[in-house]
Amino acid sequence: MKKVTFTLIAIMMAILFTEHFNSFVIGFSLAMIAVTIGYYIAYQAILKPQYTMSYLVLAVVSKLTITVAGIIGVFTSNIIHSPITFLVAYVLFSVLITYLASTYRSLQREKKDNQQQEFLRTGLYKAI
């Protein structure tokens, strides 16, 4: 149901903002880049737990830096004509990409746990 809701909202927003399409696309692109890089850095904390706090702070700072630099660059070069459309698209797709990244990570973790349980059921190894 959440997927359908997000898809309908994204399609509705794209239809409503067709006359400001460049603002919509730039907001979407900036959100996608900032959130993807932020989550990529944050998920590195799973691989090296001793540096968790450093990775999380670096992820927040990098997302903020990309967002601020992108907004400053877009507004100074007068690429967009509707700041409201840009900001709505940025917020909407930031939430959407966050949801998709979290869902993907959850499905990966669930699949890995199922494989481990299946491996333990063979009887060759005991659970610790």
What's residue 1's pLDDT? 76
pLDDT band, very low/low/confident/very high, at 121 (cuts 50, 70, 90): confident
Whole-angstrom distance, CA of residue 76 vs CA of residue 95: 26
What's residue 68's pLDDT? 92
What's residue 85's pLDDT? 80
Specify the length of the chain in residues: 128
DSSP tally for the chain: helices H, then strands E? 4, 0
What's residue 40's pLDDT? 87
Rg (C-alpha) for the chain, rounded Å, is: 19
pLDDT tens digit sequence for 11-66: 777 777 777 778 888 888 898 899 889 888 888 887 888 888 888 899 999 999 99
Q: Which residue blocks in the chain are alpha helix, DSSP H?
A: 2-16, 21-47, 52-76, 83-120
pLDDT tens digit sequence for 69-81: 998 988 888 888 7
Domain ranges of the chain: 2-95
Whole-angstrom distance, CA of residue 100 vs CA of residue 107: 10
| Sequential DSSP letters for 98-128 | HHHHHHHHHHHHHHHHHHHHHHHTTSSS---
- In this prediction the pTM is 0.71
What's residue 69's pLDDT? 93
What's residue 65's pLDDT? 94
